[in-house]
Chain A
Amino acid sequence: MQANTSASSYKQLEQKSKLTNMFLRWFLYFVLILFASYFIFPLYVMVVTSLKTMEEIRQGTLLTWPSALNFESWAVAWGGRGYGAGDTFLRPYFWNSIKMVVPAVFFSTFIGAMAGYVLTKWRFKGDQWIFLFLLFGCFIPFQAILLPMARTLGVLGISNSILGLIVVHTVYGIPFTTLFFRNYYVSIPTELVKAARIDGAGFFKIFFKILLPISAPIIVVTVIWQFTQIWNDFLFGSTFSFGEAAPIQVALNNMVLSSTSVKEYNVDMASAIIAGIPTLIVYVLAGKYFIRGLTSGAVKG
């Protein structure tokens, strides 16, 4: 290129880059919208289908908006039709799941926090190995432990009970929660613990008074993670429980598969949405902390 490019050719170049930028921008939006609709599409179908009557569904108009908003299928999914045997509906199983998820999330988070605290602030001989074995738990396929776990629950006398599921989910949550808390506490200066020891605080006091109050971001991450895992779990639920004690995901499966003559797509869709709502709520309420907690490492002392 010549050294003395004239003013007009600069103008041309400027014009050209403007056009390229505009094109790229539009292309970016196009791709983003494409992916967004790809993800939102199934949800849209679920919502509109759940609001249609069976008659409307049978017409095969999958994508059209329902002619009238019909919440009956939601009521059926939640509370049943009211006739005796064979009427499966979600309400009791929803509460089963709540009764299972809340303690399981609480205990696994708490134990993980404690373990992370010990592994980072009270180093002892072999702590690296313990952490390594704990990490192992993150990589074991859950199918592999179904049989031994079933036997264990049987011996403990808590098979086919919500308590049994709480134990299973707590135990298999600990590797993940420990990993989360360990990585968080590693970035917190150990000098804090030393200062507290000189001030006369003991093991538990340091944990509850010094470390736990600054753990909010990682607690949120852990709670969201555990809640989603446990609420959405089907494998453990279907293996270790049946009938009355089943959590919602198992009930949802039974409901959809055991329908008698006609497939009630609107009820199925409403049930599926109901089963998914709690995780959505948790994520919406705490989501912004989730991102912050995942990325924030150093809490300056």
Chain B
Amino acid sequence: MKTLKIEDLSKNFGTTEVLKKINLDIDEGNFLVLLGPSGCGKSTLLNIIAGLETINEGNVYIDDYNVSKVEPKDRNIAMVFQSYALYPSMNVKENMIFGLKQAKASKEKIEEQLKKVSSFLKVDELLNRKPSQLSGGQRQRVAIGRALVREPRIFLFDEPLSNLDAKLRVEMRREIKKLHQTLKTTVVYVTHDQTEAMSLGTKIAIMNHGVIQQNDTPENIYNKPNNTFVADFIGSPSMNLIKGKIIKKSDQFSFVGEDSNSTQIPINNYNFDKKIELDNKEIYFGIRPEHIYYKKSNEHDFEIKLKAELSEYIGNEQIITFNYSDQEILAKFPSTAKIEINKEMNLYFDLSQISLFDKNLKERI
């Protein structure tokens, strides 16, 4: 039984297709993050799960029960919003028990839930305050509390941390993680922040233009991106995607940049996903900046001589831009490394970490 299942879901606003044939499911206790750039449809998808938006095609199942036409309040879900959406005229206590009161829960049950949740979230001191008297972090905590008291099957979070300042955001991120570890409730979490997605999710679904690009564990998303969009979206700076083609010499496959005189990079040890004709195939060669080293760390590393063109110092690290076949390659080094600009130097590519993509289909090969 899947806690949440989405089947062939399509949604359009007028003539704009926002979601195209989405299929997605999530097991009990998982933390699914919907990640994507703004306008990719992730919030719409969340609103549809909540029942706040109608569906054009497809179905939503919660615990194998088709809830596509069920009212939000009867779906056994709770939602935390970006703007907190605390009712301004009610105090914290009234905010938290509003849902239970609507559901006509007994007085004892309400009191019990309120006590449990407010001490769990450490908001018991604040119960009589109005939302306007709370700080950003406190508001967020109350908003989570309001969701918790209802003991929902699924928690929905709609970019809950983006209104907080950077420091508080990291703190609240940890709290949400702890919360999930303690309660083990199923969560669907929308964000555009990849760090949030990586650190919180047990599964990440990356979306673009209303289509799920990859739905996988954070490790796989990072190490084995399905296509160039995912490769480019995850990581900072993002993966280097170098245009070029595969050439074959006496049963040895190598990659060479657009300028055929550039250094050939052997790709014999690469695990191809698909069986395709490799010779002369135009591809993107993908390698993350953090998998390029300035000294040999592993004997399988591939040595290559490249010219450093630009150095960006960012404190603990520095990002150096190199030139390979007239394309930029970024590498991330510790800031202690002494790199001379406009000079060729030896670099070491960790070829066990590369990804290759079909140049036309933009998909992993």
Pairwise interchain contact B85-A301, C-beta atoms closer than 8 A: yes
Q: Mark A191-211, 1 if CB is under 8 A from B, else 0.
A: 110111111110001000110
How many angstroms from the CA of A301 to the CA of B89 in the assembled complex? 10
Cβ of B103 within 8 Å of any chain A Cβ, yes or no, is yes
Q: Mark B78-100, 1 if CB is under 8 A from A, else 0.
A: 11011111111100000000110
Cβ of A189 within 8 Å of any chain B Cβ, yes or no, is yes
Pairwise interchain contact A300-B132, C-beta atoms closer than 8 A: yes
How far apart are B81's CB and chain A's nearest CB, in angstroms? 4
Contacts of B99 in A (CB 8 A): 198-200
Pairwise interchain contact A201-B102, C-beta atoms closer than 8 A: yes
Pairwise interchain contact A191-B81, C-beta atoms closer than 8 A: yes
Pairwise interchain contact A199-B73, C-beta atoms closer than 8 A: yes
Cβ of A24 within 8 Å of any chain B Cβ, yes or no, is no
Contacts of B47 in A (CB 8 A): 194
Known: A200-B99, A200-B103. A194 touches B79 (CB 8 A): yes
Contacts of A200 in B (CB 8 A): 73, 99, 102-103
- Which of B79, B82, B86 contacts A198, CB < 8 Å? B79
Contacts of B85 in A (CB 8 A): 189, 191-192, 194-195, 301
- Which of A194, A196, A198, A300 contacts B87, CB < 8 Å? A196
How many angstroms from the CA of A197 to the CA of B87 in the assembled complex? 12
Contacts of B78 in A (CB 8 A): 198
Contacts of A192 in B (CB 8 A): 85, 87-88
Residue of A at shortest CB range from B94?
A209
How far apart are A263's CB and chain B's nearest CB, in angstroms? 55
Cβ of B52 within 8 Å of any chain A Cβ, yes or no, is yes
Contacts of A213 in B (CB 8 A): 88-89
How many angstroms from the CA of A213 to the CA of B98 in the assembled complex? 15
How far apart are A206's CB and chain B's nearest CB, in angstroms? 10
Pairwise interchain contact B81-A210, C-beta atoms closer than 8 A: no
Cβ of A214 within 8 Å of any chain B Cβ, yes or no, is yes
Residue of B at shortest CB range from A189?
B83
Q: Mark B53-91, 1 if CB is under 8 A from A, else 0.
A: 000000000000000000111000111011111111100
Chain B: number of interface residues, binned into ranges: 20 to 34
How many angstroms from the CA of A209 to the CA of B88 in the assembled complex? 10
Pairwise interchain contact B52-A197, C-beta atoms closer than 8 A: yes
How many angstroms from the CA of A197 to the CA of B295 in the assembled complex? 59
Cβ of A299 within 8 Å of any chain B Cβ, yes or no, is yes
Cβ of B131 within 8 Å of any chain A Cβ, yes or no, is yes
Cβ of B50 within 8 Å of any chain A Cβ, yes or no, is yes
Pairwise interchain contact A194-B81, C-beta atoms closer than 8 A: yes
Residue of A at shortest CB range from B156?
A198
Pairwise interchain contact A214-B89, C-beta atoms closer than 8 A: yes
How many angstroms from the CA of A5 to the CA of B158 in the assembled complex? 63
Contacts of B146 in A (CB 8 A): 195, 199
Q: Mark A279-301, 1 if CB is under 8 A from B, else 0.
A: 00000000000000000000111
How many angstroms from the CA of A200 to the CA of B76 in the assembled complex? 11
How many angstroms from the CA of A194 to the CA of B46 in the assembled complex? 12
How many angstroms from the CA of A184 to the CA of B150 in the assembled complex? 31
How far apart are A17's CB and chain B's nearest CB, in angstroms? 43
Residue of A at shortest CB range from B150?
A199
How many angstroms from the CA of A200 to the CA of B152 in the assembled complex? 13
Contacts of B84 in A (CB 8 A): 301
How many angstroms from the CA of A198 to the CA of B95 in the assembled complex? 13
Q: Mark A204-225, 1 if CB is under 8 A from B, else 0.
A: 0100011001100000000000
Which among B77, B81, B86 has the greatest number of chain A C-beta atoms within 10 A?
B81
How many angstroms from the CA of A214 to the CA of B130 in the assembled complex? 12
Pairwise interchain contact B73-A301, C-beta atoms closer than 8 A: no
Contacts of B102 in A (CB 8 A): 199-201, 205
Contacts of B158 in A (CB 8 A): 191
- Which of B82, B88, B131, B132 contacts A191, CB < 8 Å? B82
Pairwise interchain contact B131-A301, C-beta atoms closer than 8 A: yes
Pairwise interchain contact A195-B131, C-beta atoms closer than 8 A: no
Pairwise interchain contact B83-A301, C-beta atoms closer than 8 A: yes
Residue of B at shortest CB range from A194?
B52
Pairwise interchain contact B89-A195, C-beta atoms closer than 8 A: no
Q: Mark B195-224, 1 if CB is under 8 A from A, else 0.
A: 000000000000000000000000000000
How far apart are B141's CB and chain A's nearest CB, in angstroms? 15
Can you list 5 A-B contacts with CB-CB less than 8 angstroms, sorted by A residue number? Answer: A194-B85, A198-B51, A198-B78, A210-B87, A301-B88
Known: A191-B158, A213-B89. 20 other contacts (CB 8 A): A189-B85, A191-B83, A191-B85, A192-B85, A194-B47, A194-B50, A194-B52, A198-B51, A198-B72, A198-B78, A199-B98, A199-B99, A200-B73, A200-B103, A209-B87, A209-B89, A213-B88, A214-B88, A300-B88, A300-B132
> Which 6 interchain pairs have the tightest Cβ spacing?
A213-B89, A200-B102, A200-B73, A199-B99, A191-B85, A195-B85
Hey, which bits of chain A sit against chain B, CB under 8 A? 189, 191-192, 194-201, 205, 209-210, 213-214, 299-301
